[in-house]
Structure 1
Amino acid sequence: MSLLEDYAEYEATYQRQYNNTNATITDTAAPATASARDGMNAIASEMDGYITTTLDVEDAPIFSLDTVQFQVPNKIISLAVSNDVLVLVIEGAKILRIKLQEAHNIIEADVPVAPTTLRACNVFLDPTGRHLLLSTPQGENFYYYEGWDHAKPLSKFKNMEITAVAWNGLSWSAADSSTRTILLGTHDGKVYESELRPPADPKAKRCDIPVRCVAELPVRERVSGIAMEPFPARRKQHLVLISTGTRIYQIVGAADLESRSGDKSAVFEAMLRDGLANPNYQEIPGMPGPGLLTVHHRETQISGKLQAVATDFAWLTSMGVFFGRLTFGGQDSGDSVVENAALLPYPTLSTSATADVAVAEQPGALALTEFHILLQYSDRVCALNMLNSKLVYEHEVAPGSADEVLLGLTVDETKRTFWLHSPANIFELVVTDEDRDIWNIYLSRRKFDAALQHCYNDAQRDTVLRAQAELLFTEGDYVRSAECFARTTVSFEEAVLRFMEIKDNKVLRSYLLSKLATLKKQDRTQITLLVMWLVEIYLSSIGSIDAKIASTGAAAASTSATQISAISKTESSDGSVSGDVPLSTVTALEKEKSEVQSELYSLVEEYKSSVDSNTTYQLAESHGRRDFWLYYASLCGDYERIVDYWMEKEEYIRAIEALGHHGTPEMFYRYAPVLMSTESVALVDVLMRQPNLTPNKLIPALMRYEHNDVSGVDNQSIRYLRFCIQKQMCRDPIVYNYYLTLLAKDSTSADESELMSFLTTYGKGMLYDPDYALRMCKRYGRIQSCVHLYSLLKLHEDAVDLALKQGDIELAQIHAERPEDDKLCKRLWLKIARHAIQAKEPASEVMELVRRSNRLGVEDILPFFPDFTRVDDFKDDICVALEDYESQIKDLRGEMDEATRTAEAMQRDMSGLKSRFAILSTEEGCQVCGKPLWLRQFYVFPCQHSFHGDCLTRRVVGSCNRVQRRRIQELQSQMVDITKQRRKLKLTPLVRSRTDDKASAENDEQLEQQLRRARQQLNSLVAGECVLCGETMIKSIAEPLVNMDDLGTPALVADDSWSI
């Protein structure tokens, strides 16, 4: 069953579950697309979802004029708004300051002029809403700072009518009470530089703020507008715009606004002087217009921070609104930053208060929103769309009323709010979703990307994308058209059939990929279907490209053969040959194939979890794409399948490479038997790089390798096991035993050096079974190893016997020295000597062997010689032996004499001890109780200290440890019992038989011996040393002289010997 038939089956199942799904399209396509259509229906059914179908966004009007509910105490002269702070200048020379967030709190301040003289003035409020500059037509200028109760005259600003102000954006810091450097435009075409700052003394009546003229316009006209804007990426590079009734000047240059105007040189003086020397300006000929200038700012992310960047400007001229876009880049002095500038004529109003309605009235003020130009007339406010120049809003304010004549339009640049005022009222022009219809304008201009950015709902986006898709399809840009169609609500089957008719897989792939990108993670079934279809398309495309390459190569070969055979006919006069082999075509096809493969691999990698593995493998096999088959298996981590593949193809080296890179221990155990039999060297190289293998599980593979004929080559089993034992420090006895077997069996090694080295090195820890090793060495005739193993098993006689059996006397001598038993060593050496004699070795060599043993004498080996052996060869040795015997006899006699003398001396000493005595005075008393010594049994020590027996015993018992104390008590009790038994025997009746007398005497003698032993033991414990000058006294140094428990006894109370 093909993949597309799978789609059809899925579609049928889906339609049974959902009867309300879209009906499939009629069978109008070619028969070749029938199965594809079934698959498309299945996918389309899954992908159809709800989308908003309403194009229009019904909401509040974009512009609405609201009257602010505020009762003004007098007529309004001027109004300014900034940072949610509204300032009114009203008749009576009053200033009203209102924070719009606290509208109930109105601050009133005076202007120090006659109330009747202030009828008109220009008011300028800085971006923070703290600094207010007021200028009258008479050239009087006042400065007001928040919190003051009256404005203060600017003494150095006399005779200057300020008509425009360019504020400094660096004055936003709340801790900075200064406006920083600002530019002032005046009625006589001059530009001044200053810095507003409240005086240090709050009670000062005037402000002596310095001001400096930094430029004069080439044409002395009233400065109607001025603005200074920093370059976003070059903060010291600035643009200054100056507008008059007929001209607008652009001045670009460097100005450091961090410096203060109090410096000796003004900040903008050099920049303005250079810029106006050769001015860059736009002039509108004819009568001078209002000349007002406004700049629109937009929040832009620059270096991770949001900054207000000037993006558009508008200028009121006599012929209309001149507007354009400001683009900042690498401009320098004399360059222009204005792009897409245009002159928009003033609209003809629906009704007009002027006499001539055919002539458009000039507005009194203007402002910019993101997409509209706001115009303020005396009786109405209008909005023009900057994109299509259409009048989209017009609102008339109380026509015919003198108090409702609009006097000005003010913009709060901080909060983006718009305000108008008449002498009696304040109005707010509310702007709501002004970009709601912008998408349609861009769409009509075929600016699809811009249109998509301003769509409000799915229906609008769908309309834009459909229009773009249809246009691209008409223009033949099918790939981009497919990408757009994938994002629309056009039915899946309709779009696919359109692209299938083009018969270009690239277009269909583009559509399916784009459609796939629109699906959500939970749409797993749809994702799987699309991905599998794409895989099939990609594989088919790669196959087609391969066919083209093959046909191109065949055509090239045919062309070359034809050219060679007809070279004489086609050779031109200059010797060149016509006809070029299309190598460039082959290169292009190879590049295309590489790109398609890269796309396929990226697709499968991205949607790995959604790809059906079995289907993918089947597709790769059916298209013969071994490379993709292997890539996908590697991507899925199905390395066992990769190894199976190479094993099936009998490409064992590649199978080993795959194992080396991604093999698990279980995979090595599985494939090792076959690979060990075919590519043993390469496999062992890889095995030696795997630290996680268990060597004993590879023994079956090694054994299978051993069944093959490996004679004449390096044994790879031995090589691997040697590595495991020596490098990986394997301690498995099975591995050691098998390695030993291989070493014993190895027919390529004549000597036993490696086997002996192994047995010697690892025999001490018994990592191999010595009994098993002995059997293997016997089986394969490894005699030297057998001798070593006999010795290791403590079978030294067998070791020597085997060595002698092989005639290796030196080996026998080595192992004769191994036993620790001297008698056994001597017996083994005798065996060696007998073997040497029986082998008819020369007598001199036999005697050399005797001397080397250090255990045998000539008398030991003489019995082994034949009876009629001549003794001439070892006569000297016999003499030496006899002399040695004589010397030994003399030494023994001397030792016997010395022992006799020692025994006699000891006997004399013992006799002297029996007669030792001490002379005591009759008045000698016990050292413990002080009573006469003669009253009871007593002890006398060599130090002349004497004690009663019971007194000494009590003293010793009091100072000894618990074990000794218990032993003394036991001996005393034993002596008492023995004494009682002897007394009882003596008191028995006199009439008794001789046999009884004899038994009684024997018992009495036994009791006396027991009493004597008990007394000796007691004497050794009690009288072993003097208690006054022995070790016991030394140990008692830490004991108190007086027992603390006896302090209250009468004896100590009466004894005053311890008194101080």
Structure 2
Amino acid sequence: VLRVPSNCTGDLMHLAVSRNWLVCLLGTPERTTLLRFFLPRAIPPGEAVLEKYLSGSGYKITRMFLDPTGHHIIIALVPKSASAGVSPDFLYIHCLESPQAQQVKVRRIEKFKDHEITAVAFNPYHGNESSTGPILLGTSRGLIFETELNPAADGHVQRKQLYDLGLGRPKYPITGLKLLRVPNSSRYIIVVTSPECIYTFQETLKADERSLQAIFAGYVSGVQEPHCEERKTDLTFSQLRFFAPPNSKYPKQWAWLCGEGIRVGELSIEGNSATTLIGSTLISLDFEKTMHLSYGERRLNIPKAFVLTEYHAVLLYADHVRAICLLNQEQVYQEAFDEARVGKPLGIERDELTGSIYVYTVKTVFNLRVTREERNVWRIYLDKGQYELATAHAAEDPEHLQLVLGQRADAAFADGSYQVAADYYAETDKSFEEVCLKFMVLPDKRPIINYVKKRLSRMTTKPVETEEVDDDRKNTIKALVIWLIDLYLIQINMPDKDEEWRSSWQTEYDEFMMETHVLSCTRQNREAVQQLIAEHADPRNMAQFAIAIGDYDEVVGQQ
């Protein structure tokens, strides 16, 4: 994936990607280098040597965060050891580019000394290429800070503590942090995760308000409590991911890798909803079965990280990568790593703009291609009996749509919803005789009449391709019209029924007989129609038919 300059060597340490900008760190014992690639074009990457911020100062890098524009980078630093004599810190890197070259400017942010940054919520609503806008920083002690970073603010970085989830605990890492604004509203949502909890905060801000402090004000004062879901775990980490359709700033789905497995759900788009994370489904990863294993065995059975697509969770393990379908929790893909050849797997990231997934090891970066992941979604929904969704996802494939409509019709018939079943059967290519036999045994003839009428409507709206087909179609139309007339007359002349019954069926029959294609067919087959009406001994409808086709001798004969 990457063309690394020949003068840059070392193992991959960290990687992040956004809007086609991929940033990675390469490290050797002597040197740590940041490289920034623009993936669509094979141009030299931006480069910054970080050694002067690390060497001799006792620091090591723990995490790297890239903003949605691909221009702001935060690198978290912690002491290499307790005896290093330094405090946690972080670097802020601002990137610019011109047609000739990239400019990478590195700064140490000393306002946050003593605080290990473990999560960042960038601001897609106020951030741009020149400034992050107000952002949130989460720490290893459960603190949430607000700050704003830009290259012009040398020495003037603001720091506001907004909330304390750790409540004084020395170790309560914030593992995930996300800032959201509900579409077409001023309602802001903040989702926060720790190893065992997922929290949501929400508040409506004034239109001109930039600071995020007001979101937490009611929670700090005790007026309200953040919504919290706790999941017991012995894991020391969790991971929060979101999936948003392309060009959307508001996610469609959320997922949280925690001690139970992966919890997946949707996000509310209601501006006044009290609940943000809705529809939580658990994808079990059988963590409990690994409790008795040794550390070496257990690390192979617990994912290191994951990314979320529209229909799948892609999980990275110590020796393989696998994809699990969100809809039925079935594994659809797995590929093992040859660690001796490609190196130890480190992480997995997804570019929200392009949907590209990158798996990286200490030696290389792989692009995991996702091709038509929706192709079997219709079948999954069908197997689950979610027919509306199955129909929607099968709509573009006639063969798949026929299977969905047929199964949907069978299910409705089995439930006794005969009218609904008739409507769906009419849209299928199931044998006409087979369907009619199902309905003819029913005492209620409404379903069979509606089914035959819909099949007739399909026949009369199809384009004519050849004379032979046209003749066959005419004969089929004739048979359907004659049969419908017979079914209607049976209902109209059924004994022991009241006048309201007869009047209702008569009105529907009259409307049917005046339809253009029906009138055309009955005129061409008047003798067959007249014979059928005569068999029902129905002089009124015989006279009505005679008037319709202009047979006035017959009209007089019926008087």
User: What CA deviation, in whole Å up to 9, does each residue of 1:481-522 have, x standing for no partner?
Assistant: 333334444333333344345465433333334435655631
Q: In structure 2, give the amino acid aligned to 1:228.
A: L
Correspondent of 1:130 among 46, 59, 71: 71
Correspondent of 2:176 among 225, 242, 247: 225
TM-score w.r.t. the length of structure 2 is 0.79
User: What CA deviation, in whole Å up to 9, does each residue of 1:135-194 have, x standing for no partner?
Assistant: 222532222222233312334333332221223332587xx7333332222211111223
Q: What is aligned with 2:156? A: 208
1:285 CA drift (Å): 1.8
Taking the aligned partners of 1:284 and 1:442, their CA distance within structure 2 comes to 29
Correspondent of 2:308 among 365, 368, 392: 368
Q: What is aligned with 2:48? A: 109
**Contact 2:132–2:150 (CA<8 Å) still a contact in 1?**
yes
Q: What is aligned with 1:612? A: 521
1:594 CA drift (Å): 4.5
Taking the aligned partners of 2:143 and 2:376, their CA distance within structure 1 comes to 43
TM-score w.r.t. the length of structure 1 is 0.44
Greater percentage in helix: 1
Q: What is aligned with 1:454? A: 393
Correspondence list, 1:683-694, <5 A: none
Secondary structure in 1 matching 2:133: coil
Say if 2:14 is the partner of 1:78. Answer: yes
Q: What is aligned with 2:108? A: 153
Correspondence list, 1:247-258, <5 A: 247-256=197-206
User: What CA deviation, in whole Å up to 9, does each residue of 1:579-616 have, x standing for no partner?
Assistant: xxxxxxx5466455555655x37x926x58x9436248
Q: What is aligned with 2:346? A: 407
* CA gap 1:100/1:445 in 2 versus in 1, 3 angstroms: same
**Contact 2:117–2:139 (CA<8 Å) still a contact in 1?**
yes
**Contact 1:70–1:425 (CA<8 Å) still a contact in 2?**
no
Taking the aligned partners of 2:463 and 2:209, their CA distance within structure 1 comes to 60
**Contact 2:182–2:271 (CA<8 Å) still a contact in 1?**
no
Correspondence list, 1:760-839, <5 A: none
**Contact 2:203–2:214 (CA<8 Å) still a contact in 1?**
no
Correspondent of 1:236 among 167, 182, 186: 186
Q: What is aligned with 1:339? A: 279
Correspondence list, 1:167-566, <5 A: 167-171=122-126, 177-199=130-152, 206=154, 208-217=156-165, 220=169, 221-232=172-183, 234-256=184-206, 259-261=209-211, 266-270=213-217, 273=220, 277-298=224-245, 307-329=248-270, 331-333=272-274, 335-342=275-282, 344-346=284-286, 357=297, 361-399=301-339, 404-455=343-394, 457-502=397-442, 505-516=445-456, 521-523=462-464, 525=470, 532-548=478-494, 551-553=496-498
Taking the aligned partners of 2:223 and 2:336, their CA distance within structure 1 comes to 42
* CA gap 1:628/1:535 in 2 versus in 1, 3 angstroms: farther
User: What CA deviation, in whole Å up to 9, does each residue of 1:374-423 have, x standing for no partner?
Assistant: 2122222222222222233222222367x722222111111111112222
Taking the aligned partners of 2:75 and 2:547, their CA distance within structure 1 comes to 78
Secondary structure in 2 matching 1:177: coil
Q: In structure 1, give the amino acid aligned to 2:42.
A: A
Taking the aligned partners of 1:590 and 1:648, their CA distance within structure 2 comes to 24
Taking the aligned partners of 2:503 and 2:221, their CA distance within structure 1 comes to 61
1:632 CA drift (Å): 6.9
Give the % identical residues.
23
Greater percentage in strand: 2
**Contact 1:78–1:122 (CA<8 Å) still a contact in 2?**
yes
Taking the aligned partners of 2:510 and 2:277, their CA distance within structure 1 comes to 47
- Structure label with greater radius of gyration: 1
Correspondence list, 1:935-1014, <5 A: none
Secondary structure in 1 matching 2:269: coil
* CA gap 1:105/1:592 in 2 versus in 1, 3 angstroms: farther
1:216 CA drift (Å): 1.5
Secondary structure in 1 matching 2:379: helix
Q: In structure 1, give the amino acid aligned to 2:165.
A: L
Q: In structure 2, give the amino acid aligned to 1:211.
A: R
Taking the aligned partners of 1:445 and 1:416, their CA distance within structure 2 comes to 27
1:281 CA drift (Å): 1.0
Q: In structure 2, give the amino acid aligned to 1:230.
A: R
Q: What is aligned with 1:556? A: none
**Contact 1:93–1:115 (CA<8 Å) still a contact in 2?**
no
**Contact 2:492–2:505 (CA<8 Å) still a contact in 1?**
no
**Contact 2:196–2:231 (CA<8 Å) still a contact in 1?**
yes
**Contact 1:505–1:537 (CA<8 Å) still a contact in 2?**
no
**Contact 2:324–2:331 (CA<8 Å) still a contact in 1?**
yes
User: What CA deviation, in whole Å up to 9, does each residue of 1:770-802 have, x standing for no partner?
Assistant: xxxxxxxxxxxxxxxxxxxxxxxxxxxxxxxxx
Q: What is aligned with 2:85? A: none
Q: Tell which has more relative contact order, 1 or 2 (C-alpha 8 A, sep 6+).
A: 2
User: What CA deviation, in whole Å up to 9, does each residue of 1:276-296 have, x standing for no partner?
Assistant: 942321111242441211111
1:535 CA drift (Å): 4.2
Say if 2:91 is the partner of 1:142. Answer: yes
Correspondence list, 1:568-579, <5 A: none
Q: What is aligned with 1:1055? A: none
**Contact 1:75–1:423 (CA<8 Å) still a contact in 2?**
yes
Say if 2:25 is the partner of 1:89. Answer: yes
* CA gap 1:518/1:592 in 2 versus in 1, 3 angstroms: closer
1:113 CA drift (Å): 0.8
Correspondence list, 1:742-753, <5 A: none
Instruction: Structure 2: give runs of 5+ residues left out of the alignment.
Output: 80-87, 97-102
* CA gap 1:143/1:162 in 2 versus in 1, 3 angstroms: same
Q: In structure 2, give the amino acid aligned to 1:157.
A: F
Correspondence list, 1:830-909, <5 A: none
User: What CA deviation, in whole Å up to 9, does each residue of 1:656-684 have, x standing for no partner?
Assistant: xxxxxxxxxxxxxxxxxxxxxxxxxxxxx
Taking the aligned partners of 1:150 and 1:497, their CA distance within structure 2 comes to 78
Taking the aligned partners of 2:338 and 2:238, their CA distance within structure 1 comes to 27
**Contact 1:257–1:267 (CA<8 Å) still a contact in 2?**
no
* CA gap 1:552/1:422 in 2 versus in 1, 3 angstroms: closer
Taking the aligned partners of 1:156 and 1:646, their CA distance within structure 2 comes to 102
